[in-house]
């Protein structure tokens, strides 16, 4: 009844090309933004932030990043965990002050503000991603997936062995020192729940809007052209080298930022094999597939699905039914796995497609003719 | 009349200019197979140039040479008065050569509008940051090019399917969208690889009309591969006939029609 295009005439190409062409959608989007920024920070506590909001926000960034590469540009990647590790370790180096040698002398740069450390970590990861994206020019599909798998294993190995990367700490771990923005701590043990939440939310909001802009513009069309038919794309003037590498760069930028936030804000301390192993790569890939390939909304939905579902199941099984925790933990994995398979059989194009179908129906509701 | 270097005017009053592209002694081999053997011909500005021949004659290979998909082992391609070095297809596209494919090669996951907008890559050069912020050059280019694309959508009468995903369209419309995508690049030479294959009479008439209109309205030079002789003879100004990778005829439709080698190639000769 409210969700319709009728009467909402577009008189310019700018209006016609906007992200939410339907008025109701637009208001819903503003409402979500207002709630996320102005209501949620005042009502959440540590439990909500640490078990739900932070993982959701951070995985959503990683999922958008992988979606740009896999969903929009069609290049399958299993290196997400490795790229997140690059982001995390780069962020660690920047926030503790990078030490460099010039002519045998050691110089230490001053620590960089955490906000810029995270962005710089993204940029470093973008370059690393481009490097590992080079094979995509010659190989496609499963073979490329295997090549990116090499990136995953190599990067984890690198941050295990390269002592400079973890500042020669005896444990091989990296620990986020207390850092703040405008005098409010966002990393370290004294961080308030709302500060950590807002810090990640700002990144997610900006990055999601940028992803949407990139994918609806000429860059996104180049990526999708490569994905849908690379030969035709080249014939009409898309440089495949630049299109693929730009997708790798942008995607890795997002994943690097996700990795930096995951380490600095969410975990606080990380060991590379533990935090950024191959299971991370698969988790983010599942989010993208369950959420919907080639959709920014799908990345959100997929991240929410895979973050919330285990928490929900745990609450139902342990608190609701009173099962022992260890039994619940194992069953939880089985149930999540089963649900993913069932879900993909019912809706192979992911949650985003489900959402699209609902919107199609809503446009006609309650008068279907 | 065909020897006039400055061009000439056709019987129906269209202006044909000088030579815009010239193929000189092109030979293309795949291993031991010779796909094209020592072929030379020229393409004049503003004309409709057909390439015909039986199956496997090397017509599509010829088109692939022009669009930079294959680099011939021997011979030269001259474009706008300069010899063209070996190029990648996307570089050729940027020189203003667009094409359609024998088997439709649209981007199935994108809407009709996005497909045609992709054709305007040459005209959109906004940087990554401008695009990410959707400000400045990116937004301006998007609006300008959308305007140009809408003109082409009007021209080819596909307004009603503007936002439809291409995968859902019927065959005839897909062919038309592909033509629209090629046209969106504002090419100086448009290569059409069997634009009427698999169409019924009515669709063929529509397509022929569009091809003529494109040539007439935008002055686009068109190189056309087609099997339907009626269409070829009606549309084209000059025809190249190929058989087994060789050129066996070149001239106006009337000249080609009476050429003995061409008749032999199409009807077969008695071996005695």
Domain residues of chain B, as ranges? Answer: 108-170
In terms of CA atoms, which chain B residue is nearest residue A71? B109
Q: Under an 8 A CB cutoff, do A229 and B114 touch?
A: no
Is the dihedral angle over the CA atoms A147, A153, A155, A161 positive or is it negative?
A: negative
B122 near A CB under 8 A: yes
Q: Which of A247, A257, A1 lies closest to A123 in space, CA to CA?
A: A257
B98 near A CB under 8 A: yes
Statement: residue A369 has pLDDT above 80:
no
Helix (H, G, I), strand (E, B) or coil at B179: helix
Q: Rounded to a whole number, what is the distance in Å from the CA of B209 to chain A's nearest CA?
A: 24
* Helical H segments across chain A, by residue range: 13-16, 23-34, 40-43, 46-48, 54-66, 80-96, 114-133, 141-161, 193-216, 218-228, 230-235, 240-261, 272-275, 278-291, 296-314, 325-346, 350-364
Do B110 and B118 contact (CB within 8 A), yes or no? yes
Q: Under an 8 A CB cutoff, do A224 and B110 touch?
A: yes
**Angle at CA of residue A339, ends A338 and A345, nearest 5°:** 95
pLDDT, tens digit (0-9, with 9 covering 90-100), for A188-212: 777 888 888 889 999 999 999 999 9
* Helical H segments across chain B, by residue range: 59-66, 89-94, 112-118, 128-133, 137-155, 171-184, 201-218, 229-235, 253-257, 260-267
- Please report, for residues A25, A135, A178, B164, the alpha-carbon distance to residue A8 in angstroms, rounded to integers and kept in the order given: 12, 47, 50, 19
Residues in B closer than 8 angstroms to A239, CB to CB, are: 88, 90
Helix (H, G, I), strand (E, B) or coil at B41: strand
Q: Which of A187, A76, A86, A43 lies closest to A142 in space, CA to CA?
A: A76
Q: Rounded to a whole number, what is the distance in Å from the CA of B66 to chain A's nearest CA?
A: 11
pLDDT, tens digit (0-9, with 9 covering 90-100), for A208-247: 999 998 988 889 999 999 998 888 888 888 888 899 999 9
Q: Under an 8 A CB cutoff, do B67 and A17 touch?
A: no
Q: Which residues of A touch B (CB under 8 A)?
A: 12-14, 16-17, 210, 213-214, 217-219, 221-222, 224-225, 227-229, 231-240, 246, 250, 294
β-sheet bridge partners, residue B34: B29
Q: How many beta-carbon pairs below 8 A join chains A and B? A: 107
> Topology of A20-364 in CATH?
ABC transporter involved in vitamin B12 uptake, BtuC (1.10.3470)
β-sheet bridge partners, residue B97: B189
Q: Under an 8 A CB cutoff, do B90 and A232 touch?
A: no
Residues in B closer than 8 angstroms to A237, CB to CB, are: 90, 93-94, 121-122, 185
Give domain limits for chain A. 20-364
The number of beta carbons lying within 10 Å of the beta carbon of residue A122 is 28
ipTM of the complex, rounded to two decimals = 0.86
Residues in B closer than 8 angstroms to A222, CB to CB, are: 118, 121
Residues in B closer than 8 angstroms to A232, CB to CB, are: 101, 105-107
Choose the closest CB to A232 out of B105, B128, B150: B105
Q: Give φ, ψ of A108 to 5 degrees.
A: -115, 125
Token duo for residue B220: 């686009």
Query: Which pTM was predicted?
Result: 0.89
User: Along the 272 residues of chain B, how does pLDDT read in single tens digits?
Assistant: 456 666 777 777 777 888 888 888 889 988 888 888 888 888 988 889 999 888 888 888 999 999 888 888 888 888 888 888 888 888 888 888 999 988 888 888 888 999 999 988 888 877 888 888 888 888 888 888 888 889 889 888 888 888 888 888 888 888 889 999 999 988 889 999 988 888 888 888 988 999 999 988 888 999 999 888 888 888 888 899 888 888 888 888 888 888 888 888 777 777 66
- Please report, for residues A100, A273, B211, the alpha-carbon distance to residue B160 in angstroms, rounded to integers and kept in the order given: 62, 54, 21
Token duo for residue A195: 């500060």
DSSP-assigned letters across all residues of A30-61: HHHHHIIIIIHHHH--HHHIIIIIHHHHHHHH
Token duo for residue B40: 């030379």
């Amino acid at each position: 009844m409210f969700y319709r295009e009728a009467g909402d005439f577009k008189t310019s190409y700018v209006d016609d090309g906007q992200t939410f062409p339907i008025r109701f959608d637009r208001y819903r989007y503003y409402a979500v933004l207002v709630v996320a920024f102005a209501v949620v920070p005042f009502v959440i506590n540590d439990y909500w932030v640490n078990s739900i909001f932070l993982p959701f926000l951070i995985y959503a960034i990683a999922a958008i990043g992988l979606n740009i590469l896999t969903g929009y540009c069609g290049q399958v990647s299993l290196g997400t965990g490795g790229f997140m590790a690059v982001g995390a370790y780069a962020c660690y180096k920047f926030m503790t002050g990078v030490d460099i040698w010039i002519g045998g002398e050691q110089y230490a740069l001053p620590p960089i503000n955490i906000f810029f450390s995270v962005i710089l970590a993204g940029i470093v990861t973008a370059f690393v991603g481009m490097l590992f994206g080079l094979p995509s020019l010659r190989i496609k599909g499963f073979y490329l997936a295997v090549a990116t798998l090499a990136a995953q294993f190599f990067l984890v190995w690198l941050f295990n062995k390269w002592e400079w990367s973890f500042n020669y700490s005896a444990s091989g771990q990296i620990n986020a020192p207390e850092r703040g923005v405008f005098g409010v701590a966002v990393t370290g043990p004294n961080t308030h729940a709302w500060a950590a939440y807002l810090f990640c939310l700002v990144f997610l909001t900006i990055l999601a809007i940028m992803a949407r802009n990139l994918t609806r513009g000429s860059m996104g069309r180049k990526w999708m052209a490569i994905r849908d038919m690379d030969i035709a794309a080249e014939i009409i003037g898309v440089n495949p080298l630049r299109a693929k590498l730009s997708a790798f760069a942008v995607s890795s930028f997002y994943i690097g930022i996700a990795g930096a936030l995951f380490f600095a804000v969410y975990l606080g301390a990380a060991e590379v094999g533990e935090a950024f192993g191959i299971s991370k790569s698969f988790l983010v890939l599942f989010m993208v597939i369950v959420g919907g390939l080639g959709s920014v909304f799908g990345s959100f939905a997929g991240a929410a699905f895979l973050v919330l579902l285990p928490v929900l199941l745990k609450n139902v099984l342990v608190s609701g039914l009173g099962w022992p925790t260890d039994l619940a933990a194992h069953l939880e994995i089985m149930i999540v796995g089963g649900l993913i398979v069932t879900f993909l059989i019912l809706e192979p194009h992911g949650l985003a497609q489900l959402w699209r179908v609902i919107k199609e129906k809503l446009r006609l509701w309650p008068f279907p003719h | 009349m065909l020897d006039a270097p400055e061009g000439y005017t056709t019987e129906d009053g269209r202006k044909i200019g000088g030579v815009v592209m010239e193929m000189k002694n092109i030979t293309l081999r795949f291993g031991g197979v010779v796909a094209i053997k020592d072929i030379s011909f020229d393409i004049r500005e503003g004309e409709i140039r057909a390439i015909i021949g039986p199956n496997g004659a090397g017509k599509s290979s010829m088109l692939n040479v022009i669009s930079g998909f294959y680099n011939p082992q021997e011979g030269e391609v001259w474009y706008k008065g300069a010899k063209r070095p070996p190029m990648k297809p996307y570089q050729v596209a940027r020189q203003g050569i667009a094409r359609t494919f024998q088997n439709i090669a649209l981007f199935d996951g994108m809407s009709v509008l996005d497909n045609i907008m992709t054709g305007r890559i040459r005209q959109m050069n906004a940087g990554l940051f401008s695009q990410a912020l959707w400000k400045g050059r990116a937004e301006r280019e998007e609006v300008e090019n959308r305007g140009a694309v809408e003109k082409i959508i009007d021209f080819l009468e596909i307004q009603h399917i503007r936002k439809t995903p291409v995968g859902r369209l019927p065959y005839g419309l897909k062919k038309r969208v592909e033509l629209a995508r090629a046209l969106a690049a504002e090419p100086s030479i448009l290569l059409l690889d069997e634009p009427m294959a698999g169409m019924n009479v009515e669709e063929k008439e529509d397509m022929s009309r569009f091809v003529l209109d494109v040539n007439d309205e935008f002055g686009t030079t068109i190189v056309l591969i087609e099997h339907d002789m009626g269409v070829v003879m009606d549309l084209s100004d000059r025809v190249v006939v190929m058989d087994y990778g060789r050129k066996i005829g070149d001239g106006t439709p009337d000249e080609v029609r009476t050429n003995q080698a061409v008749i032999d190639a199409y009807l077969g000769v008695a071996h005695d």
